[in-house]
Amino acid sequence: MRIHLDKIGSVTRNLRPSEVVTLTREIKAEAGSVVAGRIIGEKSVYNQLEDLHGRLTRLHSGDVILGALGHRNALQGYEGVVPERISAGDKLHVLNTGGVIGRCTSQNPDIGQPFEIEILGQLLVYPDFGSRVGQPGNIRMGALPAGDVLPTCPVIYIAGTCMNAGKTHAACALVRGLSQAGFKVGGCKLTGVSLMRDKLAMKDYGAVTVADFTDAGVTTSNPATAPAGARAVLAALARQGVDIIVAETGDGIMGEYGVQEILADPELRALGKAYLLCANDPVGVAGGVKEMKDVYGIQVDVVTGPATDNDVGTRFVTRATGLPGINARTKPRILAEHIQELLEERVPGFGSNRSNVLKDEE
């Protein structure tokens, strides 16, 4: 069956799909399977789809879209699963703005019910030129290779107590500050639910190259996929010759997207030359710093996020933890300079060969 798509979700970008696709009614009910469906009903909130370019487009009843199967476990969003069996004609739900599709099992009241979608079929891809035999599409096709060789450049890890704790603000502040200081910076997001928004924000702030777990073939990260996905992403950035990598971990250090497994991995943890904790409130600050130290042996270097939005919060950070509290939105330059100073102390030769330093004219 050949159909014309009205909109294409960014989660499918590894396959570079066109607007006219061929579907099979036989669907593999597994994470990453690329499926088409028809939107049912209208919504006034959480009603957009991020396209292949990162642009948000409004969804309407009757739109035929392309997305990928996956789960979600968002405290401030939807929870959903991939059903054990899926047939053409089944009704599922759009679980996130990137086009992840599954069966919603619970939702946050602030965003209401998710869009319902009637599944039409699974995308067929034709990897062999001239072949009429299609293969069921999955975002693992066209994904980054395995990260067998880890980067030698320093990595700055940004972790948070929860979603919406200011992690991307912190990542963008560091990318911009370090780029302006002459470093060739790579930016990435290692865990979460597929969405290009955060890595594109890092690109806008000066990252020379960006990547995320979906580029590694993962729709939604989990404890099983997160370490391997992180390796693939970090290795891909390192191959671009960056001086430093700013790595954001989506969700929180006690969530279900695999952040814990990355922090617990000795090789991945050893890459981290600086650690930032983003927290929403004083309890999150105290608990997050303790959790990082007690469970993973990681000493947080800086606290940022909404808990540092004014002097009340920053005073608490210093009093309770002895760490600096530096707000990424109001003091981005100070935050970047502080991290640069830490790296110069900890990484031999750091800063001596900045890739982006302009040479004086002779």
Identity of the residue numbered 44: S
d(CA 227, CA 231): 6
d(CA 144, CA 100): 19
Which residue's structure tokens are 């607007």? 19
**303 by DSSP, 3-state: which?**
strand
Could you give the domains of the chain? 2-136 (no CATH), 155-346 (3.40.50.300)
Contact 64, 48 (CB under 8 A): no
d(CA 199, CA 196): 6
Extract the tokens encoding 28.
């593999």
Extract the tokens encoding 322.
């002895």
Over the stretch 30-72, which tens digit does the pLDDT of each residue have?
Answer: 999 999 999 999 999 999 999 999 999 999 999 999 999 999 9
Over the stretch 181-210, which tens digit does the pLDDT of each residue have?
Answer: 999 999 999 999 999 999 999 999 999 999
pLDDT of residue 134: 87
Sheet holding 244-248, edge to edge: 209-212, 185-189, 244-248, 155-160, 272-278, 302-304
Contact 5, 64 (CB under 8 A): yes
Over the stretch 296-313, which tens digit does the pLDDT of each residue have?
Answer: 999 999 999 999 999 999
Tell me the H-state helices in 164-225: 167-180, 197-204
CB under 8 Å to 217, separation ≥6 — which residues? Answer: 14, 32, 138, 139, 140, 141, 143, 144, 229
- Quick one: how far is CA 270 from the chain centroid? 21
Question: Residue 356 — very low, low, confident or very high, per pLDDT cuts 50/70/90?
Answer: confident
> Percent of the chain at pLDDT above 70?
97
Question: Residue 357 — very low, low, confident or very high, per pLDDT cuts 50/70/90?
Answer: low
Extract the tokens encoding 87.
């047939």
Residue 313's φ and ψ, nearest 5 degrees, are: -70, -45
pLDDT of residue 359: 42
Which residue's structure tokens are 């390796």? 231
User: In this model, does residue 338 exceed pLDDT 50?
Assistant: yes
Strand partners, 40: 116
Extract the tokens encoding 130.
């001239």
Q: Map 213-272 to HEC letters.
A: HHHHCCCECCCCCHHHHHHHHHHHHHHCCCCEEEEECCCCCCCCCCHHHHHHCHHHHHHE
d(CA 139, CA 5): 18
Strand partners, 155: 245, 272
